[in-house]
Amino acid sequence: MFSKILIANRGEIAARIIRTCQRFNIKTAAVFSEADQDAPYVQQADESYLIGKPRVNESYLNVEKIIKAAKESGAEAIHPGYGLLSENAAFAERVKQEGLTFIGPSAEVIAEMGDKIAARNVMKAAGVPVVPGTMEAVENVTEAKNIAEEIGYPVMVKAAAGGGGIGMQSVSSNEELAKAFESNQKRAKTFFGDGKMFIEKQIINPRHIEIQVLADHHGHALHLFERECSIQRRHQKVIEEAPSPFLSEETRKKMGDSALQAVQTLGYTNAGTIEFLVDENENFYFLEMNTRLQVEHPVTEEITGIDLVEQQLRVAAGEALSFSQNDLVINGHAIEARIYAEDSNTFYPSPGQLTKLSLPEDPGLRHELAVHSNSFVSPFYDPMIAKLIVHGESREAAVQKLTAALHQYEIEGIKSNITMLKRIVTNEHYLQGHTTTSFIQDYYLPAISKS
């Protein structure tokens, strides 16, 4: 293991990484912007470095300042967390060039999986099912229309370099396609510096189910089962659970085997996630690979007893995985709810002074926090302020714990999505496990429009 690492991230994930490091007496160096100087993780780290002004391009995306902080701190490795620079291949390569260890996969694999078109081709070659669609970039609207007509509407227009729901849109006609192609291409150029687009057949009423994988540098690879992440707003996850209430044991095994096929084909190392769309008949199709730790990783930790951050550190330090696939079993059920500073009706962010944050403390609850009472929730970053994770012997028990905890959660001074979360987890369709990616559009939004 390392003696000191630098965390190139902020908020709850920085605090999460620090907690595991403290368990193993690994010193931590944090970086922070002017907007985060009073954030909890800054005080929790052994040392902290101011790296710039609030905007991410002046701080958390400033590679030179992060490398400088790592050098000054004497850190041996850099953990990128999720988001920000976590899937930036150039950053991973730069860390290596500086003689530091990047806690994640190789720069080459990050680059390959970061290009959605390249990823589709790799997965198809590995024998992993992919959604019907283009295997290379679509040059213009005319070509896009021809492809869409060939595979049949509805289709998804997607940015090859996209992520977080940016640069993707469902369309059902040539007219919609023309508008969507051009507007999303512009967005992709703005957000990712890459306007390459591709077209996929839209899977109707799918579930979003992902497989957590781990692989070391000694040829060992395994999966830690699946996470159901279908409850989403604007293509971003809101509630995740493990295991999926939908999958049969047969499909669970098939998906796990496919994920390991992908890992072995790539020569992947460290933690990663293979994301799939699953239709109503349990046919599954590769969606994308996230070459990093996921926001929702705690639910996997809760059902397996495996600390994924610990495993990331051990693998990056050159250790072999100390357990095998046969050692892993699913223990109970876990659910994570993301607590956002946003309006429950419009989903608009609600930055400002958090005057009160009171958390339920019942057994079986876990809190991952980015803030505390009297924190200022900045408009410069993602509005997620906390994650509430529950574990129960069954899905029913976990849902009951989550519902009770959400009713005890107190947030004052800013708006939050607590009301939305309470509505979702008490909805009869959610209780029955009917959680497709259109859940919020089908059940939540119609319900609030009537209230």
Residues belonging to the active site: 292
Query: How far is C-alpha 123 from the chain's CA centre?
Result: 20
Cβ(168)–Cβ(154) below 8 Å: no
CA distances from 141 to 120, 136, 145, 182 (A): 21, 14, 6, 8
Q: Peptide bond preceding 129: is omega within 30 degrees of 0, i.e. cis?
A: no
Burial class from Cβ neighbours inside 10 Å (0-12, 13-18, 19+) for residue 435 reads buried
Tokens, residue 382: 């993602």
List of residues 6+ apart from 178 with CB closer than 8 A: 141, 145
Q: Is beta strand 101-102 parallel, antiparallel or unpaired with respect to 77-79?
A: parallel
Q: Peptide bond preceding 206: is omega within 30 degrees of 0, i.e. cis?
A: no
Beta strands in 318-437 (DSSP E): 333-340, 352-353, 356-358, 365-369, 376-377, 384-392, 410-412
How would DSSP label each residue in 273-305?
EEEEEE-TT--EEEEEEE-S--TTHHHHHHHH-
Tokens, residue 37: 């100087």
Beta strands in 80-220 (DSSP E): 101-102, 155-163, 166-171, 197-201, 207-215
